[in-house]
Structure 1
Amino acid sequence: MRLRRGTAVATLAAMALLAAPVATARALPASAPAGSAAPAATLELPRPTGPYAVGTEVLHLTDHDRTDPWVPESGDRQLMVSVHHPARAGGPGPSAPYMSRDEAEALLAGLGLGNDAPAELSSLATHSRTDAIGARGRFPLVLLSPGFGNPRATLTSLAEDLASRGYVVASVDHAYESMGTAFPGGRIPPCAACDAVEAAPDEDAERKVLKSVSTGRAADLSFVLDRLTGPRPSWEHARMIDRRQVAAVGHSIGGSGAASVMLADPRVDAGINMDGTFFERIPESGLGERPFMMLGTTTHSPGGEDDSWDEGWKRLDGWKRWLGVEGSGHSSFTDVPVLEDRMDVTLDPTVTLTTARQVDITRDYVSAFLDQHLRGRHQRLLDGPTPGNPEVVFQRP
């Protein structure tokens, strides 16, 4: 597998550019008249598109059967999980914060930016309420895993939209693999896994660390599944979950983790890798004929820079799609485009899609996949190219 040195920490560098005080200003649309003011800063995440209101709750989970792999002296493996769920309309409560100011400060400090405008990150408005009453019925469960170094908050827009469409979504922060993740009592662990990657003496050693991240995330996701669907669940509204319908979706190395958990846990029925290298190889036996979708940039085109997708595609033995999004970048499938608008910077000048298109494509294709494979509702969007989505290329049909 070809792997550029430092690929795994590319998202961290991206976040650094996003928050940097000297960043490229976002260009006005070509149609804007000369002298026009720059677009107003984004004050909220894109609104969810489904029929349900959205509730949310944060869980602190401890796996007493595992010692933390990155900092063994810290004891048992601990995880922070945000659960977004369909809710009944109404309720006077405020929206949940995007992240706390302390988390934003820690994230920026971890990137070497001190206390540079943490309010720009922490004050972004969401569309979830912590006091929301759960909707009636049972709903499929989606496990979300963020990119390496990124807190779970960076997948909030997708989590809220899926919850509004009738899914329970558990977004997992993997301890010591992210910056800016607060635990009870205010403790914010460093990204020890990031340090392990940086300390790797060569590409083979780096690859070994990253494979450990991927397989470790599989263990984390299986544990979260246990705690949400087991006999004594950690979430008081766990009765909302239909345990027969479970999917794993991840961005970057979280996408590799989605494949890894499917290899390790037969309870996971379907998976999506959003622009992530496969750090654990899919075996010749495949994923047990379970559906899997690869959604990413055209960097992952057949014969392209990351040949783990070529290899993975050949070994996927169930329903599968490989979708390349022209004009997208590595972080297009996260909240980063929205944060770019908020910060009034351009992170990746090669991205030509608008923020709205990046958000819409991610939401529409992820939800179509889940609707088809968890709910059994055929989605024409996944059959082939559509006029309304000319940027989406079906690779190796």
Structure 2
Amino acid sequence: MGAVRPGIIRKWRLRPPPRRVAAVTAALVLAAAATACGGGGSAPTAAGGSVTATRNPVLPWSQLKPLADPRTYQGPTTATVADADITPVTTAPHPVLPASVTDNQGTKVTVRSVDRILALDLYGTLSATVYGLGLGGELVGRDQSTGFPEAAKLPVVTGSTHQLNAEAILKLHPTVLITDSTLGPWDVVLQMRSAGIPVVVVDAKRGIATVRPLVDQVAAALGVRAEGKLLGDRLDTQIAAEKAQIAKVVPAEPARRLRVEFLYVRGQAGVYYIFGQGSGADSLIDAVGGVDVATRAGIKGFSPLNAEALAKTRPDVIIMMTLGLQSVGGVDGALKLPGVAQTPAGRQRRIVDMSDYQVLSFGPLTAPVLDGLARALYAPGQDPATVPAGAR
């Protein structure tokens, strides 16, 4: 596949055209910046920090002292998950095959073997979901964004440009390929189907509300609906429990609630965006009790970063991907971006960064991601693993 040049958005030719334009377009914005962020760990949704650092010491919430007014905190924070490992719901799944499904694009697909699975998307969600279903041992490759520790040794078949590589895929002899419309070009998908590989295209949208449906789609395609129900139930319970815990530390007074904005930046590519409604960032901010100022300002999907937009949104906290923050020179560099220094967040240096592998993946690690962000927002600096953003 040809490289995606920085700053250029390429639309993959899908059949039928995707309905969720905002989600797909936002994903393509991420892909457009990939080439300029060279190296295996530098792709837009690749990890900030090492994938082998699986556990971070955290205190129970009962030992933390949430800020009465989190708007007053000064300084950057890195949000971390307590454990980056994914625990499968079973070590002995029982696929019921052949499994016939109609995928998200209306294509009828029959999967007869799950011995060699590829699950590829821009966010790294699909491989993590397969692992959570207990079929991690059948994964034979991964996309650039899959960063959970157990997958570290799998060969990458998308490269730093987040494009499907037909030769790399065929070399692995997959018996099934699960993907979505965030990766392209579509000709490679057609080539895989022509080669006799069942290809199941699942939903490309990411958010708290899509976690369970995506599990169900992947489980159905792999013939493990029972395991899918177990994983879906577990994630529903974990997310609900985490949101309930977060609700206890969110200031009850509306005026003290944090105004939060998600910035996607890639300094090498000159790509700077505000993520708004439908981008996934809105779902994340809502789940941690923040006020999603981009959505309130009418920003849909993504919008180029500019001083006028930031002056309108006035965030108390800016969330960024770790590698994105590093790409602009850390917090000092971020404050030089248009309008950032003039926001309440900029004046307080209140930037929260989190691993690119995790922050918008919305898969089996959703609850730990919410927990890590909540600690960084409401009890910053109180966990042993918390360090100043950009210090790693």
TM range (shorter): 0.3 to 0.5
Instruction: Between the two structures, name the one with larger relative contact order (CA 8 Å, sep ≥ 6).
Output: 2
TM-score by length of 2: 0.33
TM-score by length of 1: 0.33
Bigger strand fraction: 1
